[in-house]
């Protein structure tokens, strides 16, 4: 019994050395509605689908998050298939500026897919994901395997000049475990599946909040999730 308690205590002490991953910005319903309108409006204007004189919507009075700089990704899909996904890890650009820019770039500049045209927008689905702060993980593969939660944490791998990032919802949709996630982000960086273990590789974890809408919607998020 004493040996079991000692082993349990050792495991808990080990997990306590795993860094705290901060939550993403908290979104109000008004925030989600405004973000949706920004993304939809930017796409409509870019493809000349907006009404004459169409302008950027006014932000909600209580939506301070709209003006803060933080990471954001825009994913575009049609018929259940990804058609574009680009984002920013944060910096000095406030969300009110990065959101519409990234919506258009995801539609036109993701080199993995042909640029979208007007005919592609009819059934286009938009997913907006806000990132919490990225936290560098310790170079301890066994600790990472025990403590990283693949359907809660997103992961970024950095091995210059290559890098890869996977949002939390990707693991949820595919039902990946921790090792699956780490191997997949290694592959996304165009490295071998065990590259995440190398001492020269940096891993950063983050949490995210996401919601989705369609281009034909009024701009309100139709479903949301926080990870």
pLDDT at 94: 87
Q: How far is 76 from 27, CA to CA, in rounded Å?
A: 20
List all residues 6 or more positions away from 77 whose beta carbon is below 8 Å from its beta carbon.
83, 124, 125, 127
pLDDT for the residue numbered 215: 76
In tens digits, the chain (227 residues) has pLDDT values of 544 454 444 445 567 889 999 999 888 888 888 889 899 999 999 998 865 545 566 666 555 666 677 899 999 999 889 999 999 998 788 888 899 999 999 999 999 999 999 988 888 999 999 999 999 999 999 999 999 999 999 999 999 999 999 999 999 999 999 999 999 999 999 999 999 999 999 999 999 999 998 876 544 443 445 45
- Block residue for tokens 């009819």: 122
pLDDT given for residue 223 in this prediction = 40
Q: C-alpha distances in angstroms, 211 versus 88, 123, 163? A: 17, 17, 25
- Distance, in Å, from the CA atom of 151 to the CA atom of 174, rounded to the nearest integer, reads 10
Residue 109's pLDDT is 97
80: left (phi over 0), alpha (psi -120 to 50) or beta: left
* Helices and strands per DSSP (H, E), number in the chain: 6, 9
User: Look-up: residue for tokens 């989705």?
Assistant: 212
- The answer, as to whether pTM is greater than 0.75, is yes
The domains of the chain, with CATH numbers, are 29-132+209-226 (3.30.700.20), 134-206 (3.30.1490.150)
């Amino acid at each position: 019994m004493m040996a079991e308690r000692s082993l349990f205590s050792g495991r808990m002490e080990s997990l306590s050395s795993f860094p705290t991953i901060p939550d993403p910005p908290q979104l109000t319903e008004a925030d989600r509605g405004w973000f949706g309108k920004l993304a939809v409006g930017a796409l409509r204007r870019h493809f000349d689908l907006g009404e004459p004189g169409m302008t950027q919507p006014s932000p909600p009075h209580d939506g301070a998050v709209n003006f803060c700089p933080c990471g954001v990704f825009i994913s575009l899909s049609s018929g259940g298939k990804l058609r574009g996904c680009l984002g920013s890890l944060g910096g000095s650009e406030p969300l009110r500026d990065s959101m519409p820019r990234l919506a258009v770039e995801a539609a036109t500049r993701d080199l993995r897919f042909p640029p979208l045209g007007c005919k592609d927008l009819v059934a286009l689905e938009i997913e907006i994901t806000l990132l919490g702060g990225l936290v560098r993980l310790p170079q301890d593969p066994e600790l990472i395997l025990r403590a990283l939660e693949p359907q809660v944490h997103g992961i970024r791998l950095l091995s210059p000049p290559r890098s890869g990032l996977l949002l939390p919802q990707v693991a949820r949709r595919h039902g990946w475990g921790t090792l699956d996630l780490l191997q997949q982000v290694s592959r996304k960086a165009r490295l071998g599946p065990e590259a995440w273990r190398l001492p020269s590789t940096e891993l950063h974890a983050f949490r995210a909040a996401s919601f989705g809408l369609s281009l034909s919607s009024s701009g309100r998020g139709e479903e949301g999730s926080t990870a």
